[in-house]
Amino acid sequence: MLFRVASFSPKTSILLSLFCKSSYAFFFHSKSFTCLSFNYTSMRIVCNAKKQPKSLVSIVREAAHFSTTSAEALLQNSTDRGTRMSRKKARREAPEMILRVKLDLCSKNGDLAEALRLYDEARANNVQLNVHHYNVLLYLCSSESDGNEERGGDFVRLDKGFEIFKQMGIDKVEPNEATFTNVSRLAATKKDPELAFDLVKKMKGHGIVPRLRSYGPALFEFCKMGMADKAYEVDLHMMDNGVVAEETELSALLRVSSEVKREEKVYEMMHRLRATVRQVSEDTAAVMEDWFTSKGAAEVGAEKWDVGKVKKGVLEGGGGWHGQGWLGKGSWRVVRAMMDETGVCQSCGEKLVCIDIDPEETENFARALAKLACEKEARNNFAKFQEWLQRHGPFDAVVDGANLGLANQHTFSFAQIARVVNQLRQISPSKKLPLVVLHKSRVTGGPAQHPNNKRLLESWKKAGALYSTPQGSNDDWYWLYAAVSSKCLLVTNDEMRDHLFNLLGNSFFPRWKEKHQVRLKPSSDGLILHMPPPYSIVIQESEQGSWHIPTVTGDDLETPRQWICATRTRPHK
């Protein structure tokens, strides 16, 4: 059904052709005319065969504000959109962009041969390469071969990489951190860690801050070649630039220190691993076991030491280590062991200690957590929760309601939460109900509508022991902040390993979690609370000189964690 249209001005005719196939669609469905329908809702337009407007012009006149200027603006917007689309299309079809897409595909597939063919073709056609193009090419040249290359293929690949890097300089394309890192890999693969390290040093001259991966090629190659002093030099350069070595780097430094019998450096790396990593991977565990069973380890250590000085070192260090050097003499007995519930080693009988957390660290962590939560959540939502917590807290325990309600269940169980809440209340020093954090959808829908569950939720709400997080929020931020700020137990089986928790860093958070997380173990009688261990799961050095090193093997309620227990076969007397 169409409007009967009288005569139109040229501009109106253009508009009709641009925006509608029918006058009905033109008037009611064009986004450009929504303002007309909103501003003139009182104007009734009857579109039927009997009462059809005589012309669209008369409708426009009744609206009174649809001017020639408005038409021109709409035409201009249409032209601008067309221009933008043309520009985007031109960018997509530009030789540089086509080359980028093809090189990225080569990178994904590890296809160096095709990438080099594209590079030669681009140069022959005078295509301008940018830093991204060069970085992809250098990355592929620096990647380790799969062993299927012909004899000498590695050298051809590496030489081609250096040739491309040289051409990058000729083209005056400014390198970035990825450029230097890739060329460092080329140098290290060519067994030239000196060049790899020199490239890292040159970054500063280009205003580039090296990253941990920038140092890897030089550091690992020096370690492989047994050049310990050069490896320590790289390590020192890292520290001077604020780059923190992680387990892989420290493990490599530990291995080379053991191989060249630098016992003081082995001791240093052991303690850096204690402070940085806490539980070691199987690869690092093997390096440590190799050291303790070596002849060099048996030969180092003091037969007599100042007991008072060692005790003072333990006290100042917060417990679990003294830092006074190797104690004792003779070979080591190295076994894999487990700890009992109180932290007593089932191999040597030594009891592990619980290392205190500095209260100031906890306060700083709570503030950092709140700041992150406000950035990720709607600020007003989290601020309201903080105010609510001030009024109703602190609590002796916080319950991750969603995790607990579904623990060992196919459907959400409020009864299961209630049983755990009652257990927590019984062991609470204040006999106060724990805080249950649940998403709003859990509190208003589904099983929450059952009369018994309604009464239960209402009783928690009246007691100030229930907080329902708003729609669209992530309740993880709420229960974690409540537990940290209240300095209390947190009941959840969530391992807290995803991206959200990675934002919190790997220093304080694991220590806090170790001392505050209560996990739930299924049993025939329901869920059993598995309380935090009364000892710290971290590398520990005893006052008698023995070592206990937690590994990543195990660490669940069914399979206890394995520890390396290293004690002297001739105990100190």
CA of 387: how far to CAs of 336, 382, 384, 478, 498, in Å?
A: 49, 9, 5, 12, 28
CB atoms within 10 A of CB 403: 18
**Homologous superfamily of the 93-327 domain (CATH):** Tetratricopeptide repeat domain (1.25.40.10)
Q: What is the C-alpha separation between 168 and 174, in angstroms, rounded? A: 8
Token pair listed for 404: 């607990």
CB-count burial class (<10 Å; 0-12, 13-18, 19+) for 499: exposed
Q: Which helix or strand (DSSP H or E) is residue 397 part of? A: strand 397-400
Could you give the residue range(s) of every CATH 1.25.40.10 domain in the chain?
Answer: 93-327
Say how many CA atoms lie within 13 Å of 212 toward its Cβ. 8
Q: Which residues pair with 528 in a beta bridge?
A: 521
CB atoms within 10 A of CB 46: 8
Q: Return the CATH fold of 359-530.
A: Rossmann fold (3.40.50)
Tell me if the pTM is above 0.85: no
CA of 320: how far to CAs of 79, 93, 118, 535, in Å?
A: 72, 63, 58, 10
Instruction: Annotate 521-553 with b (16+ C-beta within 10 A) or e (fewer).
Output: eeeeeebeeeebbebbbbbbbbbebbbbbbbeb
Could you give the residue range(s) of every CATH 3.40.50.11980 domain in the chain?
Answer: 359-530
pLDDT at 332: 96
Q: What is the C-alpha separation between 573 and 155, in angstroms, rounded? A: 59
Contact 327, 571 (CB under 8 A): no
Contact 488, 396 (CB under 8 A): yes
Q: Tens-of-pLDDT digits for all 573 residues of the chain?
A: 444 444 444 444 444 444 444 444 433 444 443 443 434 333 333 344 444 444 555 554 555 454 555 656 666 676 667 677 777 766 777 889 999 999 999 999 999 999 999 999 999 999 999 999 999 999 999 987 554 445 456 778 899 999 999 999 999 999 999 999 999 999 999 999 999 999 999 999 999 999 999 999 999 999 999 999 999 999 999 999 999 999 999 999 999 999 999 999 999 999 999 988 889 999 999 999 999 999 999 999 998 999 999 999 998 888 899 999 999 989 999 999 999 989 999 999 999 999 878 888 889 889 988 988 888 887 788 999 999 999 998 999 999 999 999 887 778 899 999 999 999 999 998 999 999 999 999 988 888 899 999 999 999 999 999 999 998 888 999 999 999 999 999 999 988 877 677 777 667 888 898 899 999 888 777 788 989 989 999 999 999 999 999 999 887 767 889 999 999 986 554
Contact 284, 273 (CB under 8 A): yes
Q: What is the C-alpha separation between 311 and 315, in angstroms, rounded? A: 6
